[in-house]
Amino acid sequence: MIPLLLFVVVCLLLVTGFPVAFTLAGTALGFAFVGQLTGNFDSAFLDALPNRLYGIMTNLTLIAVPLFVFMGVMLERSRVAENLLDTMSALFGRLRGGLGFSVTLVGMLLAASTGIVGATVVTMGLLSLPTMLRRGYDPRIAAGTICAAGTLGQIIPPSIVLVLLGDVLSSAYQQAQLDMGIFSPDTVSVGDLFSGALLPGLLLVSLYLAYLAITAAVRPATMPAITDTEHDSVSGGALLQRVLRVLLPPLLLIVAVLGSILGGIATPTEAASVGAMGAILLAISQGQFNLTILRDVMRSTTRVTCMVFLILIGASVFSLVFRGFGGDEIVADLLGSLPGGTVGAMLAVMLLMFLLGFVLDFIEITFVVVPIVGPVLLAMGLDPVWLGIMIALNLQTSFLTPPFGFALFYLRGVAPAEVSTAQIYQGVMPFIGLQLFMLIILALWPQLATWLPGFIYAN
């Protein structure tokens, strides 16, 4: 029971607000010390820690993390979101529910170019929420749309969570194959997850748009169209020029980053460097680049990167101690004994991650839970790309689930006083339901995640 007790204690300490990295490492080392004194833990497991840390430092895949973070922060400072929202509102505003469509589409574009949930939710909350409320939108629908659109950066590549999942799943997949006696193991890459997430991500956006369209038709008073003459002075030709001028730069950046990965021209790390340079050029073209902005972007990038890597180091210590107590064997026996075989084990893991998403961050779940359950599930014969996309979709809900959903906190921090916290919580509920529905669709049709990687690899 010691490994399970270790896991429970870590979760309880994380809920109380202790820093994640120090909680993971400190709790694990405390258990290891007591276990060594009582003869239940072999300290030789900790001898592998220096090699683990060196492996993290020299991991080429993880170099993509600071580069993608830099790209996202730089684009957030270059007013791309503001220009996109203004243009989309002019394009769709006269439709009933048009502002909701605009926010969702801009969230999709920002997800494919920045991938940073916090910046997207805050930016759209500041720019869109007052406008939607002023136009008579129901506060619950407005808040829910902004939160849900802001979390698309979790599933639509290039996504930080897919980069981290790619690294964790690659190790888990190799370990699973070695446990099965396969000593020339296949690998799963970040590029595989990027291509696998594309169709499910676009389908999820379609579900959001369909929900908004149905809501606008059934309850038109909650999502009125713009009826004044605010955009009457913009002719069709001028609007088309404006759309092209605003959309083309971020679209070209998306094509350069994702196209180079999916086309096999560049690795995700190389494509991330292209994206970082492209973000600088885009900021220059918008007149939003100087040394002060560059310094702020570098500081933000450094803070986020340090947080991610420190958590990864703490998770490595936790993983070693957990395995030293035989936790991996306990998890394998537990999942293997569940009714329903592989399906039952997968359902149990998905339910566990969904429940943990109420109280834990996606990085914590990625680094703590996935290394434990990943090798067991993959040894049961599950496709690693499909499993990765299922986990990514599940983790996306952690940004929306009360009480600790980060997207809810981000929007609460910038929302007007007349929008209550209860209205924000109520607004995201339908979108949580849509994400769970998307999980069911992907579970029934795994080809949505596996077809594109197979097609790209075959050609």
Q: Is the dihedral of CA 390, 392, 397, 403 positive or negative?
A: positive
37-41, 209-213, 296-300, 423-427: least confidently modelled range: 37-41
Q: Has residue 231 got a pLDDT over 70?
A: no
48 phi/psi in degrees, rounded to 5: -80, -5
- What is the reported pLDDT for 41? 83
Domain ranges of the chain: 63-311+384-458
Distance CA 281, CA 300 (A): 19
- What is the reported pLDDT for 427? 92
For residues 49 and 320, the answer to whether their CB atoms sit within 8 Å is yes
- What is the reported pLDDT for 459? 52
pLDDT 10s digits, 271-287:
889 888 988 998 888 88
Q: pLDDT class for 75, splitting at 50, 70, 90?
A: confident
Q: pLDDT class for 204, splitting at 50, 70, 90?
A: very high
Mean pLDDT score of the chain: 84
- What is the reported pLDDT for 407? 83
Q: Which long-range contacts (CB under 8 A, 24 or more apart) does 94-98 make?
A: 94/225, 94/226, 94/227, 94/231, 95/225, 96/216, 96/217, 96/220, 96/223, 96/224, 96/225, 97/212, 97/213, 97/215, 97/216, 97/223, 97/225, 98/225, 98/226
Query: Coil, helix or strand for 124?
Result: helix
CA distances to 71, 393, 399 from 103, in Å? 21, 20, 17
pLDDT 10s digits, 11-68:
788 777 778 788 888 998 999 998 888 888 887 888 888 888 888 888 887 888 888 8
> pTM of this prediction?
0.85
Q: pLDDT class for 353, splitting at 50, 70, 90?
A: confident
Q: What is the mean pLDDT of residues 358-384?
A: 84
CA dihedral 103→108→110→115, nearest 10 degrees, is 130
